[in-house]
Structure formats: C-alpha cells, structure tokens
Amino acid sequence: MKGVSKVAVSLMVVFSLMLYMAAFASAASTTGLKDGVYGAETQPTKSSNSIFKLIVAVADGKVSTVDFGMYNGPAKLNASIAEFVPEDQRENFKAMMAEIADYQEQLNSKLDGAKVVKSTKSAKGAGIYETLQQLWKDVAKDAGGTIEGDAPAKASNADSASSTASNADSASSTASSSNNPKTGDSSMVLYYVLAGAALVGMVALGRKKHIV
C-alpha cells in the first residue's frame, strides 16, 4: 500500500506540473498599441439596460490606465448600491461587482487584458470574463495592436461590442483575434518536452505500481 501511495503522489505531482506548464505556454500578451485613449462597450439588451465598458489609455506605446466597469446610463455601478437592488437579484449583483473588482485589480497590475485570468468569484451565467476579453480585443484592434499567443475565449453572449477611440467617431466593432504565434513559441516547445517526459514518467510509475 505504501508503494501505491508513493506512486499516486508522484502521479499527482507530474500532472500538476503539466497543468502549470500548459498555463504558462498559453499565456497571451498585447503588443503594438498606438498612443491614445480607446473605449469599447457592449450594447443594452432586451432584458437589461446595463452595459459593460472598457476604457484604455496608451502612452509611449504602453498601457498607462485601464478602467472596466458596468454602467446603467452614465452611472457606473458598484457594490455600495446593492441595498437598492431588488432582493431576489441582490446576491447575484454582489457577485458580479466582486468579479468586476477582481478584474479591475488584475488590469491595474498587469495593464494587459489578455493576461487577465478568470476570477474564482465569477458570477453564474454573467459571462463577465468573456465580455472583458471581447472588449479588450476590440480596443487592441482600434489601437493597431496585436494579441500574441493563445487568444482568450470569445464572449459567450451574442452582443457585439461597439468601440470608440477618443480621437475618432463611434463605430461598431467585431471580434479581432490574433493568430500570431511568435510569443510563446519557446514555452510551447518546453511544454511539449516536459509533457513527453512526464508521460514517460507516468508509464514507468504505472509499471512499478503493477510490480508492487
């Protein structure tokens, strides 16, 4: 039994390493943005007048500030107004605000929407992460940038994001994913090498388990 336990622990370690390397290999980044202030937003739906909006400022080719939020008309929504939300919708509203706050915190530190990871606080059925990624793609396209590496998931809803730049008229925007694999090539090779080594190790450990 001790031999089997050691094999199980070893397999778990190997599998965890493979997952870590997979995440590392699929990391995306945004490059080539032109200076300016860009915005993208979703459209109101039949069931809600609220929209999501992303505003990005780029200076010297680098993102300087990012603001992501949910709006109702000109007002930006936040957790402090939860008490005014109908009781049957209150908990979901709080969950949405917590998820948005998590993404804003990541955006403040990473200054790249392509590097934002899905929140563990994600509200059920809200699709906020997917919406953020779609808006970021629209902004990157308007700013003349490229999202390199594995592109984030597309928005789960059918609402197309309409994006605007500070020095341009408002325009409807469609998804702009990048197929440029330059960033992450070396990490992908490293991942495949380690994955192959891990697979060989798993087979060897499996044989050892049968022997024990």
Where exactly are the structural domains of the chain?
2-25+187-211, 29-182
Q: What is the pLDDT of residues 12-65, one digit of tens each?
A: 544 555 444 444 444 799 999 999 999 999 999 888 899 999 999 999 999 999
Class of 29-182 in CATH: alpha beta
Q: What is the mean pLDDT of residues 99-128?
A: 95
* Bigger pLDDT: 125 vs 84: 84
Instruction: Give the single-character DSSP code of 117.
Output: -
d(CA 25, CA 20): 9
Model-level pTM?
Answer: 0.62
Contact 144, 33 (CB under 8 A): yes
Residue with tokens 């902004």: 139
**21: helix, coil or strand?**
helix
| pLDDT bracket for residue 153 (50, 70, 90) | very low
Q: What is the mean pLDDT of residues 105-120?
A: 97
Q: What is the pLDDT of residues 65-111, one digit of tens each?
A: 999 999 999 999 999 999 999 999 999 999 999 999 999 999 999 99
Helix 185-211 / helix 2-25 crossing angle, nearest 10 deg: 170
pLDDT of residue 10: 53
